[in-house]
Amino acid sequence: MQISKTSPKENTLLVGFPSNGLVGTFTISYLVHYLEMKLIGEIEHPDLPPTLFVEDGEILPPIRIYKKNNLFVVLSDLPFDPFVAYDFAESILDYCKKNQIKKIIIISGMETINRNPKPPKIFGLVTHQSLEKLLYDYGVPKFLSGSIFGTDAAMITAFRKSKIPALILYAECHPFFPDPEASIVAITTLARVLEIKVDTNDIQKRIEWLRIQHRNLMEETIRSLQQQQQEKKPGKAPQIYR
């Protein structure tokens, strides 16, 4: 799998976190790994359970910040409720201001159970009119109607009140299982927007393995999403295993 080393001209921040189909987590993790981005920081919150991950013998925090050239990434392996998401979004905005980041791109999944055999579609939503042309230039249909709740809604609410424009890319996905196919569509769309070349042959060969590898994280994400819909009140974030 190869990705060109081209970087965007302006500072851009990518944001990914567990949601429907784990699309955000799959997509952003993929780019971080294959662009060989450098881990430069982390985000902590007192309401998150103490959680660490170990990868290739290295201890990693659950919410990490990566960087390469003009591209920044905030990646969470931990689902969290909307009340934590507001603080999370404010932390991201503060980081953007300090690092002169001009654009935020969020990757997430759009629940669809009755998807036909064709590749999932992807839709875009922008918080500022300045990014409307970007959707047109890269052939991304606009998300025209529907509802957004929970963590996604909390973060978009914070971003739309900011002067920093945000683009949200929603890939159609299965809500109850990790959906690598939807992530492939998100990856290729994001690559077009960032003007980098992506080869997804490897991830296509490992689709079933990825589903199994991430099933525990998906189960905990589903519980978090269900809690957001049903309780509408603060709650503890679930413990995550992988």
Residue 59: CATH number of its domain: 3.40.50.10900
Check residue 233 and give its pLDDT.
Answer: 44
Do 121 and 166 meet the contact criterion of CB atoms below 8 Å apart? Answer: no
For 80-99, the three-class secondary structure string (H helix, E strand, C coil) is CCHHHHHHHHHHHHHHHHHC
**pLDDT above 70: percentage of residues in the chain:** 76
Instruction: Look up residue 161 and give its amino acid.
Output: K
- Residue 157 inside a domain? The answer is yes
Q: Is the pLDDT of residue 32 over 80?
A: yes
What's the Cα-to-Cα distance from 104 to each of 50, 57, 112, 219, rounded to whole Å?
Answer: 28, 31, 25, 28
Do 197 and 2 meet the contact criterion of CB atoms below 8 Å apart? Answer: yes
| Reported confidence tier of residue 215, pLDDT bands at 50, 70, 90 | low
pTM for the structure as a whole = 0.80
Do 18 and 78 meet the contact criterion of CB atoms below 8 Å apart? Answer: yes
Question: Number of folded domains in the chain?
Answer: 1
What's the Cα-to-Cα distance from 28 to each of 65, 173, 228, rounded to whole Å?
Answer: 11, 16, 23
- Residue 152 inside a domain? The answer is yes
Quick one: average pLDDT of 214-223?
Answer: 52
- Residue 6 inside a domain? The answer is no
Tokens of 21: 């189909």
Q: Is the pLDDT of residue 237 over 90?
A: no
What is the rounded average pLDDT for all residues in the chain?
78
Higher pLDDT, 111 or 191: 191
Q: Is the pLDDT of residue 171 over 90?
A: yes
Check residue 40 and give its pLDDT.
Answer: 94
Q: Is the pLDDT of residue 226 over 60?
A: no
Check residue 62 and give its pLDDT.
Answer: 82
- Residue 237 inside a domain? The answer is no
Q: Is the pLDDT of residue 118 over 80?
A: no
Across 92-96, 146-150, 217-221, 233-237, least confident range: 233-237
Check residue 3 and give its pLDDT.
Answer: 40
- Residue 240 inside a domain? The answer is no
**pLDDT above 90: percentage of residues in the chain:** 31
Range of the domain at 175: 12-228
Quick one: average pLDDT of 74-103?
Answer: 88
pLDDT tens for 36-65 read: 899 999 888 777 766 776 777 777 878 899
- Residue 239 inside a domain? The answer is no
Q: Which residues contact 238 (CB under 8 A, 6 or more apart)?
A: 49, 79, 220, 223, 224
For the chain, the three-class secondary structure string (H helix, E strand, C coil) is CCECCCCCCCCEEEEECCCHHHHHHHHHHHHHHHCCCEEEEECCCCCCCCCCEEECCEEECCEEEEEECCEEEEEECCCCCHHHHHHHHHHHHHHHHHCCCCEEEEEEEEECCCCCCCCCCEEEEECCHHHHHHHHHCCCCECCCCCCCHHHHHHHHHHHCCCCCEEEEEEEECCCCCCHHHHHHHHHHHHHHHCCCECCHHHHHCHHHHHHHCHHHHHHHHHHHHHHHHCCCCCCCCCCCC
Check residue 202 and give its pLDDT.
Answer: 66
Quick one: average pLDDT of 194-219?
Answer: 61
Q: Which residues contact 210 (CB under 8 A, 6 or more apart)?
A: 26, 178, 180, 203
| Reported confidence tier of residue 216, pLDDT bands at 50, 70, 90 | low
Opening angle at CA 222, ends 184 and 104, nearest 5: 50
Check residue 60 and give its pLDDT.
Answer: 80
Check residue 234 and give its pLDDT.
Answer: 43
- Residue 3 inside a domain? The answer is no
Check residue 145 and give its pLDDT.
Answer: 84
Angle between helices 82-98 and 150-160 (to 10 degrees): 40
- Residue 97 inside a domain? The answer is yes
Do 189 and 108 meet the contact criterion of CB atoms below 8 Å apart? Answer: no
